Chain A
Amino acid sequence: MRIEYINPFVEASFDILNEILQTNVKRGQLYLKKLGESMKGVAVVVGVIGNLKGRIVFDLSEETAMKIASKLNGEKFETFDEMARSTISEIANMITGRSVTKLEKDKLNFSFTPPTLITGENLNIYEYAGMEALIIPIDTGIGIIEINIAFKE
């Protein structure tokens, strides 16, 4: 995976989360995910198709998802309901959208699928052969979001 394709996601994730949450958002160190490592409980999957192929998964716990949804909607969510799910999916949408704006400078021809939200305990993700996943951990100040990226040209 070329770092020039990763940087726009790192920047867009940091910028969008900072803009909307206005908490003390911090970027962690990027690292490679081990095969089959379990995820946190709420996963938003966005497919990438075109010259660049792969997917992005926004991985966070339900507790973090509820805190973020509560902050953005100005109301406390007792359950991870439709509005809370819509809020988290929309964040993924905004981050991928902002990344496109940044990546368009590279004249790459690709597009994103609409986000799909998956919840459950003991979720695992497996890449197909030759694909490795890079993780961008973001500490939002109210919980961690790991942005899990696997691309190939």
Chain B
Amino acid sequence: MAIVYDDDGLPTGRKVEGGNVKVLIIDDSQFIIKHLSQIFMSRDFEIIGTADNGKTGVELFKELHDKTDIVTLDITMPEMDGLEALKLIKTIDHNVAVIMVTAIGTAEAVKEAIKLGAKGYIVKPLDREKVIERIGQILK
């Protein structure tokens, strides 16, 4: 998936081939879901679903994987953690771009996620400008 970047080099939520980039957010924090959604929507990304644990997130991805371009995945979650969910998501669709969302920038879990096929990670707290810049780097 190639996305359109604006004149400042920042990512928009539009695909080069047309249409909006569709995002699925999996996070056990309502606060993070709300703020991440606002950041994505401010750049025209479309939120197609949210889930508050890995298990329901994977089930939702099974239903929506044909439409999903990006999955954001929290690492520490109840029911099923982000690493386990990542493995299953990659089994369903190896090409989907998975971005980990974590409070820890250098932990083993982040390195493991990259090994498992995550495209990159965003470190909390979610500062709008930094998150947009980071998404742009990850999707390039």
- Among the listed stretches A29-37, A96-104, A133-141, which one makes contact with chain B, having 4 or more residues with CB under 8 Å of it? A96-104
User: Which residues of chain B are within 8 angstroms of A114 by Cβ–Cβ distance?
Assistant: 28, 76-78
Q: Which residues of A contact B102 (CB under 8 A)?
A: 97
| Pair A94/B76 contact, Cβ less than 8 Å | no
Instruction: Tell me the dominant secondary structure on chain A's binding face.
Output: helix
Query: Are B30 and A82 in contact, CB atoms less than 8 angstroms apart?
Result: yes
Looking across the interface, which residue of chain B has its beta carbon closest to that of A93? B103
Rounded to whole angstroms, the CA-CA distance of A9 and B124 in the bound complex is 16
**Complex contact B30–A86 (CB within 8 A):** yes
Contacts A19-B125, A19-B127 given; does A97 touch B31 at CB 8 Å = no
Asked if A90 is at the interface (CB within 8 A of a chain B CB), the reply is yes
* B8-16, B91-99, B104-112 - the one binding chain A: B104-112
A142: shortest Cβ distance to chain B, in Å? Answer: 17
Cα-based distance from A97 to B29 in the complex (angstroms)? 15
A101 and B105: CB pair below 8 A?
yes
A52 to chain B, nearest CB (A): 15
> What is the chain A residue whose CB lies nearest that of B28?
A114
Flag if B34 contacts A104 (CB, 8 Å). Answer: no
A86, B103: Cβ atoms closer than 8 Å = no
Alpha-carbon distance A104/B31, docked complex (angstroms): 27
Interface size class of A (residues with CB under 8 A): 20 to 34
Does A61 belong to the interface (CB within 8 Å)? no
The residue that A94 contacts in the complex, of B30, B77, B106, B124, with Cβ under 8 A, is B124
Can you list, as one digit per residue, whether each of B12-37 has a CB less than 8 Å from chain A (1) or not (0)? 00000000000000001111101000
A20-B125, A97-B124 known; A90+B29 contact, CB < 8 A: yes
Residue A16 is within 8 A (CB to CB) of chain B in the complex: yes
Task: State A98–B124 Cα separation when bound (angstroms).
Answer: 9
Residue numbers in A under 8 Å from B78 (CB-CB) = 114
A70 contacts the other chain (Cβ, under 8 Å)?
no
Cβ B125 vs Cβ A94 within 8 A: yes
Q: Which residues of A contact B (CB under 8 A)?
A: 16, 19-20, 72-73, 82-83, 86-87, 89-90, 93-94, 96-98, 100-101, 104, 112, 114
Please name the 5 residue pairs, one residue from A and one from B, whose CB atoms are nearest each other, closest first.
A97-B103, A86-B30, A86-B31, A97-B104, A87-B31
A-B contact pairs, 24 of them (CB 8 A): A19-B125, A20-B125, A72-B31, A73-B31, A83-B30, A83-B31, A86-B29, A86-B30, A87-B31, A89-B31, A90-B29, A90-B32, A93-B76, A93-B103, A93-B124, A96-B103, A97-B102, A97-B103, A97-B104, A100-B104, A101-B105, A101-B107, A114-B77, A114-B78
